[in-house]
Structure formats: structure tokens, C-alpha cells
Amino acid sequence: MICGISGQDGGYLAQLLLDKGYAVYGASRDAQASSFGNLVQLGIRERVECVSVSLRDFRSVLQVLVKVRPDEVYNLAGQSSVGLSFDQPVETMESISVATLNLLEALRFVDYPIRLYNAGSSECFGETGDQPADENTPFRPRSPYAVAKAAAFWETANYREAYHLFACSGILFNHESPYRPQRFVTQKIVAGACDIARGRQHGLQLGNLQIQRDWGWAPEYVEAMWLMLQQERAEDYVIATGHTYSLEAFAQAAFAAVGLDWTDYVSSDASQMRPTDIMVGRANPAKALRQLGWQASLRMPDVVGLMTAAYNARHASRS
């Protein structure tokens, strides 16, 4: 069962699990009303059984677990935008930390073993400077989103230790795909570059171009999620490429992909900067390679190329 199946990771994970022969259930607040657009675009909507569940309601969570009786639960749900979390801190906290707690508590009550994957976030680390973060790096969250993710991480660890649940968190660094909404800066840059090249847009305003992140390819990262639940013992893992680039470099790559010089079109707008932000995100994913056999094969330039090609193909088909 995948909670948050409507999102980027949920769609790719559903596709991966279906290819492995799983029966996949997608949990949504209102399964009858949701369009599940990503599942439709991936061509798997008819192969996924969607069920309604409110993760903020313990009874609702318990009922769906009893009904579905899943072997594995992937918790990918919750408000997913760091920027939006500053405007909606309560919604962010409840949709992430309260939802995770309800899942864990429900798993404690059911009478059969269920393995739980919890979607953690590199945002929990905060500012680590040039030190790559690994599984032992302390959390110093700098946004309401990161605070909520840190709470969910420790809830998961506590239930694993106190009640011996198979529950683990993947501490994922930034990972992108064509299914990122345009409120995410990566998709905003890709869409802006493509639309400017087509004459549909004249310029692009971004926040701090000097921030640095480790950007990977989402379809590779969902495989790491699955691998975590196949281990003999539940443990937490940092998932990343191990290579960091600036937002400026991301913009340069996106505009170069459409034959343009980014400096002619991109400007920095202070109003788009967050109240607090992480300047540099660096990762050490050695444990994932050592214990899961997982390693990212695509880095930021590859990701930009794939996103740009997908955006152009999608919009060319509509014209």
C-alpha cells in the first residue's frame, strides 16, 4: 500500500512494484474524487486499486490496514514543499508527523507483520557546510517542513526500538522527474527555459542562485525505498548521488539544453527567498551502496536533460 500515490515518488514506486509482481493499493484522502493523473500518464491507473484513507484519523488508518492487509506500506504522503511550509506550518506538521504517528500506532495494533517505509528528508540535516551528511549526522532543521520530517523520523525510530516494528526511514536528498509540480524550483527552471526557447515566456525570476543541492533521478530513488524493506533488519539510509551542484549550474544546464545562455534570461529576486534556507546540501550515501547495493547512476546534468526532453515532448504533443 502506497500512501501518497498521487505524487511523483508514489507513481514511480507503483510502477516499480507492479513490474515486480506486487498487487498495489494506492491510499488517497478521497480515492473516488482524485484523478491520479501521474498514474494515468504512466499508464498504470487501471492496475492500481485505490482506497480512501485519512492519515490524520487513526480509525481510518486502522480500518484500511485491516481491509487491505498489506505486506508493505510506503508512507510518501504529506505536504511536500519546503517553501509552502513557511505559509502552512500547521498543515505541514499534521500531514507529516501526525499522519506518520497514526500509521505507526495502527501497525502496532494489527495482528500480522507489516513492513513500513517512511519518507524522510535531507532537509532535516539543516546546514552542514562542506561536510557530507550520513546516517549519523545530527538534525538541525531550518524549516517547518524539516521540523515535521524530523519528528516523523524519530517517531519511526522510536516505534522500531520500543515495539520491534519493521519500520525504517529513507533520508532522501533532492530527486526530480517530469512529474515534479512547477512550484518546485527545478521544474520551474526547466519549464521556463523551454517556454523561453519557444517564445512563450521572456524571462525567469529565481531566488538564491548560490544554494547547492544534491539532485538525483526519482525513478532510481524509489528502488532504494523498495530495497530497504527487503532487508533482514530495518535501518535508516541516506539516499543521494553524492554529487552537489549549485542552482546556478542547474539553470545553466537547462538553458544550454534548449540552446540558450541562461545569463540572458535569469534574474535573482529577493522576494522569492525563504526566511531560512540551507546554503549547501552534501551527502554521503556509502551505507546504501554497502548494505543495499544501491547507487545512483544519474547526476544533475543527466536529470536536467531528461526533464527538458520530457517537457518539450509533452508540450509538442499538445500543440
Question: Is pLDDT at 108 greater than 80 in this prediction?
Answer: yes
Q: Please give the positions annotated as active site.
A: 121, 123, 145
Where are the domain boundaries for CATH 3.40.50.720 in the chain? 2-176+217-239
pLDDT > 70 fraction of the chain, expressed in percent and rounded: 97
Amino acid sitting at position 52? S
Task: Please state which CATH number belongs to domain 2-176+217-239.
Answer: 3.40.50.720
pLDDT tens, position by position, 43-82 = 999 999 999 999 999 999 999 999 999 999 999 999 888 8
Question: Is pLDDT at 26 greater than 60 in this prediction?
Answer: yes
Give kind and range of the element (H or E) at residue 209. Answer: none
Q: Is the separation of the CB atoms in 92 and 85 below 8 Å? A: yes
Residue 274: what pLDDT?
67
Where are the domain boundaries for CATH 3.90.25.10 in the chain? 185-213+243-283+298-312
Q: What is the mean pLDDT of the chain?
A: 94
Alpha-carbon gap, residue 217 to 91, rounded angstroms: 28
The reported pTM is 0.94
Fold held by 185-213+243-283+298-312? UDP-galactose 4-epimerase; domain 1 (3.90.25)
Alpha-carbon gap, residue 312 to 111, rounded angstroms: 50
